Amino acid sequence: MSNVTIYHNPDCGTSRNTLALIRNSGVEPQVILYLENPPSREELTTLIGAMGISVRELLRKNVEPYEQLGLAEARFSDEQLITFMLEHPILINRPIVVTPRGTRLCRPSEVVLDILPDAQQGAFSKEDGEQVIDENGQRVKP
C-alpha cells in the first residue's frame, strides 16, 4: 500500500496535475475519489488539523451549494461548516494530499512537491503547458 494518499477529483485540473506530480516521483498513491467516497467527520476534522488551516479555508467557494446555503455569512460554526461539507462533498476544496512528510491542500499543484518523500524522476509540465520540473528533475522557478 502506498504511503501517499490524494483526495482527488478527476474533473479538476489542479487535482489532475497534483496526481501527475505524485506519479512523476515514482509513487502510485492511494487515490480517494472523495466526491463518491467522502471522508467521515472524524477523517475530515483530522485532515483539517493536519493541514493547519481553518475549516473555512477548506471550503470551496465557487460551487453552487456555497451560494445557495449562504456560506459566506460568518454565522456558521466550524461544526456546521463541516456538516455542510459532508452533505455536499463538492464544498471540500481539493486536492488534499497526505504523505509521511505532511498533509497539504495542494493549490497550486506544486505545493505537493514540499511534502513528497521522493524526488521527481523527470521533466513535468502542467496540462496548460507550464513547466514545473526540468529534465534533471529539478523544480523550475517561475
Which position among 6, 12, 19, 47 bears the catalytic label?
12
12 classed as catalytic:
yes
Give Cα 91 distance to the centre of its chain. Answer: 12
How far apart CA 90 and CA 83 sit, in angstroms, is 12
**DSSP-derived 3-state class of residue 90:** helix
How far apart CA 65 and CA 1 sit, in angstroms, is 35
35 within 8 A of 7, measured Cβ to Cβ: no
What are the residues facing 31 on neighbouring strands?
A: 6
Which positions are catalytic?
12
